Amino acid sequence: MTGHPVLYSFRRCPYAIRARMTLAYADVPVELREVLLKDKPPAMLALSQKGTVPVLALPDGRVIDESIDVMRWTLGHRDPNAWLTQGDYGDRDPLITENDGRFKTCLDKYKYADRHPEHPPHKYREEACSFLRELEWRLSEAPWLGGQQEGFADIAIFPFIRQFAGVDRAWFDESPYPHLRRWLDSLLDHPLFKAVMAKHPPWTPGQTPVIFPEDT
């Protein structure tokens, strides 16, 4: 045991990405345990029966298994650029609610259109575009969703737009959302994102702990 909180994570999961980016930003150390979603460790399932990542187990016995709550917990410890209160909404930006709700539903149907054959993929993409238009409008007013620097909403929403763009990048690159593309590319090249996408083998009990962020 390291004495640090334990974070069960999966490298490509957008919920886990936003949690790890916030931990890296705040430089709050955790013991990182990479999991295979098709072979979830019993230790994680004992903490959260949801079986989804991220799961953060705190030294005092508390368990946080919602990514937004992991972000808020982290920023409660250290928030050097005031992400929690940045802009008009901070961590309560209504765009986050829309992202995690209606847009995520459309994204899943678009990305896994073969599982939803009742409509062709472009139908699900069109349904998602109302959210993209909201983001485009916001980003036409300022470089980041919260204003002049990246903040809570940017990090909470970015991994899902990354997934959306990756379904058909050629279409996305030709879409009428230049500010959104600029924003996405800025975050793809952001040191925080690069820091959290290092590959780790799946965790096994008894292995040498992996401390994240690595330079903590």
What does residue 210 show for φ and ψ, rounded to 5 degrees?
-105, 115
What is the per-residue DSSP string for 154-215?
HHHHHHHHHHHHHHSHHHHHHSS-HHHHHHHHHHHT-HHHHHHT---PPP-TTSPPEEESTT
pLDDT value of residue 215: 61
Rounded to the nearest 10 degrees, what angle do helices 152-167 and 14-26 cross at?
A: 140
Note the pLDDT tens digit of each residue in 4-41: 999 999 999 999 999 999 999 999 999 999 999 999 99
Which residues in 147-180 are b (16+ Cβ under 10 Å) and which e?
A: eeebbbbbbbbbbbbbbbbebbeeebeebebebb
Domain boundaries defined on the chain: 6-82+194-212, 88-191
Q: Is it the case that residue 175 has pLDDT exceeding 70?
A: yes
pLDDT band at 216 (very low <50, low <70, confident <90, very high): very low
Beta bridge partners of 89: none
Omega cis (within 30) before 213: yes
pLDDT at 87: 87
Residue type, 20: R
Percent of the chain residues topping a pLDDT of 70 = 99
Q: Can you give the pLDDT at residue 2? A: 74
Q: Per-residue pLDDT averaged across 89-112, rounded?
A: 97
Do 6-82+194-212 and 88-191 have matching folds? no
- Average pLDDT of the residues in 142-159: 96
Model confidence pTM above 0.75:
yes
Residue 116 in this model has a pLDDT that exceeds 80: yes
Q: Report the 10 Å Cβ neighbour count for 190.
A: 17
CA atoms within 13 A on the CB side of 96: 20
d(CA 191, CA 210): 20
Question: Is residue 134 within 8 Å of 95, Cβ to Cβ?
Answer: yes
In this model, does residue 73 exceed pLDDT 90? yes
Question: In this structure, what token pair is assigned to residue 27?
Answer: 């430089």
Query: What sign has the CA pseudo-torsion 33, 37, 39, 44?
Result: positive
User: Average per-residue pLDDT in the chain?
Assistant: 96
Report d(CA 179, CA 149) in Å as an integer.
Answer: 15
**Domain 88-191: top CATH class:** mainly alpha
Q: 3.10.580.10, 3.40.30.10, 3.40.47.10, 3.30.565.10: which CATH number matches 6-82+194-212?
A: 3.40.30.10
Asked if 144 and 151 touch (Cβ cutoff 8 Å), the reply is yes
Q: How confident is the model at residue 1 (pLDDT cuts 50, 70, 90)?
A: low
Q: What is the pLDDT confidence band of residue 134, given thresholds at 50, 70 and 90?
A: very high
